[in-house]
Amino acid sequence: MIANRKFRIVVLVLFCWSVWISGLFGNDGILQAYRLSKVRRDLTLRIRALENERSRLDILLSDLYRDDFAQEMAIRDTLGYVREGEVVFETR
């Protein structure tokens, strides 16, 4: 009778321990939830950075459509154009 009771307690303890270990380290465990929350936080920061970059580029694009000076500066920077009579100094 006592051996049977001890056996049941041991089985119950082992079962509880295995459920706890599975909950901690399993695919749906606490550690996995922590890792996924970190990934989500990193992706949220990346999305915000991309939204800020898009806003900056939208402003630049609207400037290029309506501002002659912005157009000239973009052409100079991108294509390396210079005005007639300007002297170009190359730095290395």
Would the pTM of this model clear 0.85, i.e. be above it?
no
Contact indicator for 7, 1 with CB cutoff of 8 Å: no
Write the CB contacts of 31 (distance below 8 Å, at least 6 apart in sequence): 24, 25
What is the pLDDT tens value at each position of the chain, 92 positions in all?
A: 667 778 777 778 777 777 777 666 666 667 778 888 999 999 999 999 999 999 999 999 999 999 999 998 888 888 888 888 888 888 87
